[in-house]
C-alpha cells in the first residue's frame, strides 16, 4: 500500500500509521470517532464511556477503537501487528520497517549523516537536535556534535519517529 501525506485517516495508510493516528486523537474526540466509525451499538459505547469516566484508562478504549478500524481496513493480523509496533515505539524501541540507507565517506560526522540520510533538513538542524538530545545511534543518545562514525552498520534515530539503518562505508 502506498503512503499518503494527508492528515486524515484513509485506507491507503499503512496499518501502523493508521493505528498511531487513531491513538493520537484526544480523549474527548475519541467518543465522536466511536459514534461515527465503530460498529458497536450506542449502548456499548455509552457503557464504555461510563467505565472510562468511572476510572478505566481511556487508552484501553482508544486501543479498542484503533484495532477495530485497522481490522476493518486491513486485517486482524495487521491490527495486532500495529498494536505491537505502537507499544514497542512507545517504550523507545526500534520499529521493524526501518528504511535501509547506504552512505560512503566514513568517518562521517553525525550531523552530516543525519542530513545525507534525509533524517534532517540540514546539518544545522541536526546539530540543534543533538543539543536537545533528539538524536540516537543504536539506541544511545548522541551528545557530541563532533562525533564521527567509522564504517559500519548503525540504526540512526532522529526525533521520535524518524529512523534509518545506515550502512556506512569508507
Report the DSSP beta bridge partners of residue 162: 158
3-class SS of residue 73: helix
CATH superfamily for 100-169 is RNA-binding S4 domain (3.10.290.10)
pLDDT digits (tens, 9 = 90+) for 18-47: 999 999 999 999 999 999 999 999 999 999
Q: Which of 105, 118, 117 is nearest to 148 (CA)?
A: 105
Domain residue extents for the chain: 15-90, 100-169
Could you report the per-residue pLDDT of 102-143, keeping only the tens digit for each?
A: 999 889 999 999 999 999 999 999 999 999 999 999 889 999
- Is residue 34 within 8 A of residue 45, CB to CB? The reply is yes
Task: For residue 164, give the H/E element and its range.
Answer: strand 162-169
Of 94, 90, 82, the C-alpha closest to 156 is 94
CB 70 within 8 A of CB 136: no
What's the pTM value of the predicted model, to 2 decimals? 0.61
Strands (DSSP E) contained in the chain are 100-104, 108-109, 135-137, 140-141, 148-149, 152-158, 162-169
In this structure, which topology does domain 15-90 adopt according to CATH? Answer: Tyrosyl-Transfer RNA Synthetase (1.10.240)
d(CA 66, CA 21): 9
Higher pLDDT pick, 90 / 76: 76
Angle at 19 between CA 164 and CA 75, to 5 degrees: 105
Amino acid at each position: 500500500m502506498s503512503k499518503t501525506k494527508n492528515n486524515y485517516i484513509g485506507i491507503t495508510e499503512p496499518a501502523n500509521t493508521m493505528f498511531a493516528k487513531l491513538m493520537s486523537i484526544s480523549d474527548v474526540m475519541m467518543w465522536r470517532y466511536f459514534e461515527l466509525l465503530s460498529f458497536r451499538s450506542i449502548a456499548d459505547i455509552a457503557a464504555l464511556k461510563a467505565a472510562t469516566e468511572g476510572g478505566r484508562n481511556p487508552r484501553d478504549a482508544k486501543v479498542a477503537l484503533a484495532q477495530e478500524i485497522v481490522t476493518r481496513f486491513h486485517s486482524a493480523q495487521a491490527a495486532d501487528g500495529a498494536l505491537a509496533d505502537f507499544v514497542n515505539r512507545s517504550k523507545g524501541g526500534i520499529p521493524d520497517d526501518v528504511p535501509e540507507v547506504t552512505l560512503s565517506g566514513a568517518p562521517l560526522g553525525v550531523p552530516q549523516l543525519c542530513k545525507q540520510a534525509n533524517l534532517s533538513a540540514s546539518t544545522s538542524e541536526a546539530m540543534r537536535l543533538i543539543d536537545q538530545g533528539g538524536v540516537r545511534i543504536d539506541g544511545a543518545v548522541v551528545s557530541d556534535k563532533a562525533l564521527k562514525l567509522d564504517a559500519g552498520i548503525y540504526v540512526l534515530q532522529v526525533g521520535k519517529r524518524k529512523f534509518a539503518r545506515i550502512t556506512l562505508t569508507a
